[in-house]
Structure 1
Amino acid sequence: MDRILITGGAGFIGSHLADGLINQGYRVRVLDALSEQVHGDIRRPPDYLNPAVEFVHGDVCDASSVRDALLNVDAVFHFAAAVGVGQSMYQIERYTDINNRGTAVLLQCLIEQPVKKLVVASSMSVYGEGLYRTADGRPCAPPERPLTQLQQGSWELLDENGDPLHPLPTPESKVTSPASVYALSKYDQERLCLLVGQAYNIPTVALRFFNVYGTRQALSNPYTGVLAIFASRFLNGNSPLIFEDGEQKRDFVNVQDVVQACVLALERDEAAGRVFNVGSGRSHTVREIAERMGRLLGREEIRPVITRQYRVGDIRHCFADIGEARSVLGYQPRVDLEEGMGELTEWLKTQATLDRFEAANEELSQRGLRL
């Protein structure tokens, strides 16, 4: 394989992947609409995009742009997507259009212009709640927490006897249960790609990214990753707002480890037709992450605020079992959280950012999506 197309490749993860592929000797083309929510009002590729990239300004929902971008391409990474659990619950048409229809447009074009490999970016959000075990040791996939429980400020998942369930690393075999429009659209993306890939003999891999962090995150986008949102709050002298009690567990994976997994998925034939978790294999609470971010930025005097509020579409615990990625892809996370967050905060200190979180949070409240 020689020339690789990355849809959405001017964004956070895609631009890092472009660097990684170019360093490996690939030629990279990027198709990106330069969404204002992510890139601001610029009409040119961001300065961080590798100068060796062939940039195509176009929308993944536009078949003509996609066909042009696919010319003489050997493989595709499909990263183009609208991202954000909360926003997806009130911009339903937009998220479905970009994520679902955009993927359908790409696949329709790939039938006409097939490639040797397709890798689609999926998300841990497709699981809904992660895997748990009961008090007597049985693994279980619990349903969503009932609204009455959340209104009482009782956050943990409970079994039928009212006893707390214990969160476990979540494997790919755990039943999917998308809890938001965004999550449902990501599941649709991965299933569409795998289904069409099998039907048309296009080797396809779906990678379920967990909470990716690193440099180049869109700091002024209030629907981006939680680390970027917290950083934007700290840098503007505002307290990060943490939903529920802050003890919800997530898997934070550095973008360089995500690039590693992507390149392995591209190059390993045995990956075709499969789904893999891409995480660090470790869990941390959201409260811990906020406090660590404050220390690294030198803003210890700004304390995170525990809101004890709930957002529709949020889940309690989900962190990755990466055994399949290790055994099949040879994936091994290399960047520990301390090192990765240190690099991130050094970059953050050089960035200007607008804190739009309060406006986004109020939007959810007015629509009854924050309780």
Structure 2
Amino acid sequence: MRERVLITGGAGFIGSRLALRLHAQGHAVRVLDNLLPQVHGADPDVTSPLLATAREVAEVHRGSVTSTDDLRTALAGVDVVVHLAAETGTGQSMYEIDRYVETNVGGTAKLLDLLTNEPHGVRRIVVASSRAVYGEGAYRTRTGDLVYPPHRSEQSMAAGVFDVRGEDGEVLTSIPTTEDALLHPSSVYGLTKQMQESLVMTVAASIGVEAVALRYQNVYGPGQSLENPYTGILSIFSTLIRRGEAIDVFEDGEESRDFVYIDDVVEATVRALSRPAAAGRILNVGSGVPTTVNEVVDALLRHFGASVPVSVTGGYRLGDIRHNVADVRRLAAALDFVPAVSFDEGLREFVEWVRTEPIGSASYRRSLDEMAARKLLK
């Protein structure tokens, strides 16, 4: 059935790819995006290929979720909302607190306020949540007990102790985190995503709108920003490799993340729009496979066929987690889908695309300087 779909943040990495997919399925797509320079460049009409992609298949509105008028216009005649609009970046959120809260929490509140108090035809809303809501996620002790450890202390990391440990000093073992795990974000970004998700799931149920929350893990692939220093290590390290610059690895390089390929994320999101079993559900969207930073560096150098100095520095960022990997069994049950693109396969596609793009700037170094100046980088 042809539907009218609004994607907030729809000119971004995930949103533009989702717009392409929905258009190909015959849906009418509308995008609301503020075209943030950090993502789209100073002149988006010239500097943003993501915007160009969205315009090919969608009705694009330049506006903000923090504006009630912009939201009201974008919602007119819509059947389904995919709420992707958010400020992203764990480190940046720790010192641009007001901006992150205003956009992520305030924008979501405005969207829900309109759906609650004004006539509309929206039947379902899918909100992009994040693995950041878990903080450190789930671990097991040597005796098999399930625990959700507190955030690592600055004192222990300053001493070079990066593993997550129990009260008795035991090194705990990271395990896949399920959706009913304890939520204890370690960053402002994570806190705002938790609030976004909670607002949507609570309010939508009270007004008769179906809601789905997708806890995206570390999304990567062709099309992600190579200029935005807050988009993740794949873009950052790729730019350093292409510039022939050294890679500094934080901690001991054994911290791990769950990398999930963009096409798998889009597939999961499309299914969340229509599958009856998804209504009212909170679902992890990840590969279910942990990959360490050291493994990322090795794989990137191999795919680029390059060699640059790599230094494991022992430095660390306050607010970073050690491990997180998603348990994706509920995703499979609700959407009849499990992400299938392996990290090596996805990375190969990513690197092939990167080779066709201009070499990025040194904005990553500036972002580290900003964090160091605020004593968040040690």
Provide the TM-score with structure 2 as the length reference: 0.95
Structure 1 residues 328-355: Cα deviation after superposition (integer angstroms, max 9, x where no partner): 1112212111211111111101111212
Q: Which runs of 4+ in 1 moved over 6 A?
A: none
Q: Indicate the residue corresponding to 1:100 in structure 2.
A: 105
Whether 1:329 and 2:335 are equivalent positions in the alignment is yes
Q: Which residue of 293, 298, 308 maps to 2:314? A: 308
1:257-289: CA deviation from partner (whole Å, max 9, x where unpaired) = 001110111111221111100001111101111
Counterpart CA distance in 1 for 2:206 and 2:96 is 32
1:241 has 2:242 as partner:
no
- The residue aligned with 2:40 is 39
The separation in 2 between residues aligned to 1:293 and 1:48, in whole angstroms, is 27
Partner of 2:212: 205
Which letter maps to 1:83? T
How much has 1:50 moved relative to structure 2? 5.3
- Residue 80 of structure 1: aligned partner: 85
Task: Show structure 2 runs of 5+ residues with no match.
Answer: none
In 1: Cα distance, 2:337 partner to 2:55 partner? 25
1:62 to 2:73 alignment? no
CA offset digits 1:296-318 (Å, max 9, x no partner): 1222x213321211101100010
Separation in 1 of the partners of 2:337 and 2:96? Answer: 35
Question: d(CA) in 2 for partners of 1:115 and 1:303?
Answer: 53
Judge which range, 69-78 or 20-29, deviates more: 20-29
Letter of the aligned partner of 1:219 in structure 2?
L
Letter in 2 for 1:365: A
Q: Please, which of 239, 247, 250 is the counterpart of residue 232 of structure 1?
A: 239
- Name the CA distance, whole Å, in 2 between partners of 1:83 and 1:242: 21
- Please say if residues 54 and 60 of structure 2, whose CA atoms lie closer than 8 Å, have aligned partners that are also in contact: no
What amino acid does structure 1 have at the position aligned with 2:264? Answer: D
> Cα deviation per residue 1:343-368 (whole Å; 9 max; x = unaligned)?
11111011112121111101111111
Contact 2:215 2:285 in 1 (8 A): yes
- Counterpart residue type for residue 17 of structure 1: L
Question: Structure 1 CA distance, aligned partners of 2:59 and 2:311?
Answer: 44
1:157 is matched with 164
What is the CA–CA distance in structure 2 between the aligned matches of 1:132 and 1:214, rounded to whole Å? 29
Counterpart residue identity of residue 28, structure 2: R
5+ residue gaps, structure 1: none
Q: Offset at 1:236?
A: 1.9
CA distance in 2, matches of 1:31, 1:170: 32
- Contact 2:34-2:64 at 8 Å conserved across structures: yes
The structural deviation recorded for 1:226 is 1.9
Q: Distance in 2 between matches of 1:43 and 1:356?
A: 18
- Cα distance in 1 for residues equivalent to 2:313 and 2:16: 34
Q: Report the secondary structure of 1:204's partner residue.
A: strand
Q: Is the 8 A contact 1:236 1:355 kept in 2?
A: no
The letter of the residue matching 2:41 is: G
Q: Percent identity?
A: 44
Give the distance between the partners of 1:169 and 1:98, measured in 2 at CA.
Answer: 30
Match of 1:348 in 2: 354
Q: Alignment partner of 1:345: what SS?
A: helix
The question of whether the paired residues in 2 share the 8 Å contact of 1:291 and 1:304 is answered with no
Give the TM-score of the pair, scaled to structure 1.
0.97
Q: How does 1:290-309 map to 2 (within 5 A)?
A: 290-299=297-306, 301-309=307-315
* Distance (whole Å) between structure 2 residues aligned to residue 245 and residue 252 of structure 1: 19
RMSD: 1.2
Partners of 1:357 and 1:93 in 2: how far apart?
A: 22
| 1:4 aligned residue | 5
1:20: which partner in 2? 21
Give distance in 1, aligned partners of 2:121 and 2:130.
25
TM-fit CA distance, 1:114? 4.6
Give the 5 Å matches for 1:271-290.
271-290=278-297
Looking at structure 2, the residues matched to 54 and 303 of structure 1 have their Cα atoms a distance apart, in angstroms, of 46
Query: 2:199 and 2:276 mapped to 1: Cα distance?
Result: 20
Shift, 1:109, TM fit: 1.7
Between the aligned partners of 2:248 and 2:200, the Cα distance in structure 1 is: 36
- 2: CA distance between counterparts of 1:176 and 1:56? 34
Number of aligned pairs?
370
Opposite residue 42 of structure 2, the aligned amino acid is: D
Match of 1:263?
A: 270
Distance 1:304 1:17 in 2: 36
